[in-house]
Structure 1
Amino acid sequence: MPSQNGGYSYKSSGTNSQGNHYCSRDYGNDSNSYHYSNSDGSYYYSNPDGSTYYNNGGGSSTYTSPSGNSYSSGSGSGSGSGGSASQGSQK
């Protein structure tokens, strides 16, 4: 992933009453990003390029590219046999 250590300004951040933290950044040129992390260990990122990343805090995560393709990884609850491939059309 390209590193963007600068070129942005913080828009807002804080923690809500449920203990969930969020942070929003402005990269200029209508390019914004934000992330939040929840008290249950899950977290979500929305990136300036339009991609998103979600981790459920239990070892399973989903990345969605700017073009809309989703990629899942992780252990989750481990149901089913190991022979099934994930379908790219799950939306």
Structure 2
Amino acid sequence: MSDKGYSYKSHGTNSQGNHYCARDYGNGSNAYHYSNTDGSYYYSNPNGSTYYNNGNGGAVYTPPSGGSSSSSGSSGSGSGASSGSGNSK
């Protein structure tokens, strides 16, 4: 273990030129990330959350409890439809 709270399991660059790094946190938690030559990158965190960025402004974050939260490069189009059909009698 290092003073950072984790130790490196493996890291390097694969034959496609993509970087990867895997860490061991010693309590059964592992994490890794990789970054690709196209600008995209992915993180898997020790708490179970993940984050992916496609390098073009699009990103997806998955919290530890599951589900996902994605954001595209463009500003979000608010889909909060408030078209109430008020039938008051």
* Stretches of structure 1 lacking an aligned partner (at least 5 in a row): 86-91
Opposite residue 77 of structure 2, the aligned amino acid is G
TM-score under structure 1 length normalisation: 0.77
Residue pairs, 1:1-91, within 5 angstroms: 6-75=4-73, 82-84=77-79
Corresponding residue pairs, total: 78
Structure 1 distance, partners of 2:47, 2:53, is 19
Work out which of the two has the higher radius of gyration on C-alpha atoms and give 1 or 2. Answer: 2
Gap regions ≥5 residues in structure 2: 81-89
Question: Scaled by the length of structure 2, what TM-score is found?
Answer: 0.79
Counterpart of 1:10 in structure 2: which amino acid? Y
**Match of 1:14, SS?**
strand
Structure 1 residue runs of 4 or more that deviate by more than 6 Å after TM superposition: none
RMSD of aligned alpha carbons: 2.0
SS of aligned partner of 2:31: strand
